[in-house]
A and B are shown apart, each in its own frame.
Chain A
Amino acid sequence: MTRNRALALILILALALISVLSGCSGSGGGGKKITFALSVEPKKLDSQDVTDNPSYMVNAMMYENLVTYNEKMELVPQLATKWEGAKDGMSWTFTLRQGVKFHDGTPFNANAVKVSFDRILNPDLKLARYSLYNAFIKSVEVVNDYTVKFNMKFPFGALPQNLAHPAGIIHSPAALQKYGKDIARNPVGTGPYKFKEWVSGDHITVVKNTSYWGEKAKVDQIVVKVVPDANSRVNMLETGEADVAYPVNASDVARLQKSDKVGVIVKPSNRIVYLGINVTQKPFDNPKVRQAMNYAVNKKAIVDKILLNLGEEQLSPLGPNNWGYVAQKPYEYNPDKAKQLLQEAGVKPGTKVTLWTPDGRYLMDRQVSEAVQADLQAVGFQVEFKKWEWTTYLTELDKLAKGNHQLFLLGWAPSTGDADWGLRPLFQTGETNNYALYSNKTADDLIKKGMSATDEKERLQTYADLQKFLWEDAPMIFLYSVKQTVGVSKKVTGLVVHPLEMLYFDKIDKTK
């Protein structure tokens, strides 16, 4: 009798459980649907106010810029049809595409361009990308309905490239007015897909924009599902729950490549991961010591065994797939030469150094750091290892004035795909990402020369010289460049994996 009561208790619990669980929603909707399993949830669907790639990626489904990069990193028209710089470099004039409408029906015109750029340039709004454009844009002027003029603060040749940056999107002015602060959750652009819903932490859905001005989307909706666990992403891909999974674990690539249902796209990016050296500290102020460290680290083994070939040995201070890239002669793995150089530089065996690394931020970052630690110890350094939690790490690197850091692992991917942005922030005296505290007259001069040069050949030569110089002066241990791994169902075509670590879905299609 009472056993029955115990049973009844279990039954009641089971019923309660089912009633709780059955409140789950199923996502319906007919037509072609792409499910995209993404590791990190976008922060905001307003590219003017974020700096993270997941946000940019999803934003790019719905928004467009005046100009953009194609897969080959060439500048191509998007909402502008043509553009022209003034002779003195003080202004740029863009002719806009006609007959384009935002998703809310607002017409796209010069006013919309001005409103969007006035917004990002408004110091009171304090948007995350404020400084990107504020650095060189003085004002935006409506010339007529379909002509807009950007006035520069100083002669500036790279405006079109910078307008291709994800933050250069054009918002619907009516939507900005309507949603205000909540625009990031209610995006309205001109792109091939329209926003449908965002369930926090779970998924974002966009649907086909049937009145798109260009070639219309081939699928009816894209569901961007947030799946932080790499094993789950791959599982979903294999069971058909997901059509695209990004990124894929290195250790799973080989197996997936053998599958007949799914494939893996492995594409180089323009990102380098390097071990920075604080050159103001002894003994790292001596280039010989820095070269020695480059000889001491077995980069090939790192690429083969830890990255499982999902990276390439870094062959220039500039990442590959950037404009102006020139590969240099590698520092071959040679511990004896390293020891000899260290001896010449007067570095005693047992010299203590500290190595800082994040964990899980870049492809195999902590594992690589551990390997580097072992390699440096093999040539006589005593390496104290410190793994940082990412936010603390960034904040700690900000306190550069103290300069108590020595070796630190970081990545760099110039969002403009250009040699200037690939090198200047890292190596110019006093620049923001110059955590190495590197300051060298030759390098500074070359950086300045490349920036102001207008002739393409001259620019190329300048950056070639700069890369060679930096390579030999070695303000970092050059490690690797990262390849992107995207798991894709064999039914899917037309996915664009861009070197700037972006996936583009405008031409994606799926067979039944």
Chain B
Amino acid sequence: MTSYLLRRILQLIPVLIGVSLVIFLLLRLIPGDPARAFLGPDATEQDVAMVRSRLGLDQPLVKQYAKFAWGLARGDLGRSIRTDARVTEELKTRYPNTIKLTAMAAFFMVAIGLPVGIISATRPNSWLDNTTMVLALGGVSVPVFWLGLMLILLFSVKLHLLPSGGGDSIRHFILPGLALGLSSAAILARLTRSSMLEVVNQDYIRTARAKGLMEKVVINKHALKNALIPVVTIIGLEIGGLLAGAVLTETVFAMNGLGRYIVLAINERDYPVVQGAVLLLSLSFVLVNMVVDVLYALIDPRIRYR
């Protein structure tokens, strides 16, 4: 187990190096000068040139990347162009919000998706099943930013029940979490259902039924347990997706999270910030996938760590 984990972690390194290189290059391909973004329209071209040299942007790209990579190796992400603060400091205040948002969304995903999927599967092709599945597909089809706006309009503007985001307390995370988690809940519901149905049609369930076990026992004891295996995988994958979905959700709800920060930093051409934030997000993403793999192995005894 330990050596398996170790190997998995070591495998992360080339992927992260790849990500760091790709984001470094992508950023520099985006037109627009960070120094000009910092100084605004009033500054003279001499000012812009001066700030460029202060930021080291007049150096060759290889040198810039080497500096970035060397810092990275020591856990130093450099300083924000926009604020001159350490990128690690800037990320420290934002990352927890993204995690909270993702946690809230994951909660809604599981709390809605799992029961709906199970109930649907126990009555396949019934009226209830068909309706919920169409609704679920609807859930996948809603643009998250629109859903967010509509939730704001309803709960915040019209009913004054919940704040529209951008705060610290748990209440501020309810609407964004719901907006973000709903489409994942829909995906989870569909998957739970199909996974259960697949299991139900397998031999050992038929055997269990033939033995005359009560339907409830069959479903609960035999079907659900085995159906949960792919469900756990999809939960993990969706949590990864939720992290990415944070970009739009945080923008709509104007939350102080990593996603909106990345958009802001791209607009300001704050290279060190985008690099650091994207790396952090990718790392979280890959780590979640890793945890899922491990969980998967724990649940399913057929998989062994080689």
Contact = CB atoms under 8 A, between A and B. Distances in A.
Q: Do chains A and B touch in the complex (CB under 8 A)?
A: yes
A147 B24 CA distance: 51
A139 B156 CA distance: 57
A202 B93 contact: yes
A392 interface: yes
B83 A16 contact: no
A425 B30 CA distance: 29
Given A26-B168, A128-B38, A128-B39, A184 B83 contact: yes
Contact of A128 (B51, B256, B267): B51
B287 to A, nearest CB: 16
A52 B92 CA distance: 24
B36 A394 contact: yes
B268 A391 contact: yes
A23 B169 CA distance: 9
Interface in B40-59: 40-48, 50-51, 53-54
A14 B107 contact: yes
Contacts of B221: 1-2
B67 interface: no
Interface residues of A, number: 59
Interface of B: 30-34, 36-48, 50-51, 53-54, 82-85, 89-90, 92-94, 96, 99-100, 103-104, 106-107, 110-111, 114-115, 118, 152, 156-157, 160, 163-170, 173, 220-221, 224-225, 252-254, 256, 260-261, 267-269
Contact of A43 (B83, B99, B261): B83
Contacts of A22: 170
A217 to B, nearest CB: 26
B37 A21 contact: no
A461 interface: no
Contacts of B111: 10, 13-14
A391 B33 CA distance: 7
Interface string A1-25: 1110110011001101110111111
Contacts of B100: 20-21
Nearest to A39: B254
A131 B85 CA distance: 23
A227 interface: yes
Nearest to B152: A231
Given A52-B40, A128-B38, A398-B36, A16 B103 contact: yes
A201 B268 CA distance: 14
Given A201-B90, A390-B267, A433 B41 contact: yes
Main secondary structure of the interface of B (DSSP, over half): helix
Given A130-B47, A391-B267, A201 B38 contact: no
A24 B83 contact: no
A232 B165 contact: yes
A184 B82 CA distance: 11
Given A17-B104, A201-B261, A394 B152 contact: no
Contacts of A232: 163-166, 253-254
A24 B170 contact: yes
Contacts of A389: 32, 267
Contacts of A2: 220-221, 224-225
B96 A23 contact: yes
B269 to A, nearest CB: 5
Interface centre among A51, A52, A182, A410 (most CB of B within 10 A): A51
Nearest to B254: A229
Contact of B93 (A52, A184, A185, A201): A201
Nearest to B90: A200
Contacts of B32: 389, 391-392, 394-395
9 contacts: A2-B224, A21-B173, A184-B84, A201-B256, A201-B261, A391-B32, A391-B267, A394-B36, A395-B31
Contacts of A410: 41
A398 B106 CA distance: 46
A226 interface: yes
Contacts of B31: 392, 395-396
Nearest to B107: A17
B39 A51 contact: yes
Nearest to B258: A201
B241 to A, nearest CB: 17
Contacts of B169: 24, 26
Given A6-B115, A16-B103, A17-B104, A235 B163 contact: yes
A174 B186 CA distance: 60
A394 B41 contact: yes
Contact of B224 (A6, A131, A398): A6
- Listed residue (A20, A131, A227, A425) with the most chain B CB atoms within 10 angstroms of its CB: A20
A87 interface: no
A187 B156 CA distance: 37
Contact of B50 (A1, A26, A130): A130
Contact of B254 (A52, A200, A228): A228
B44 A432 contact: yes
Nearest to A421: B42
A394 B46 contact: no
A448 interface: no
Contacts of A16: 103
Contacts of B92: 200
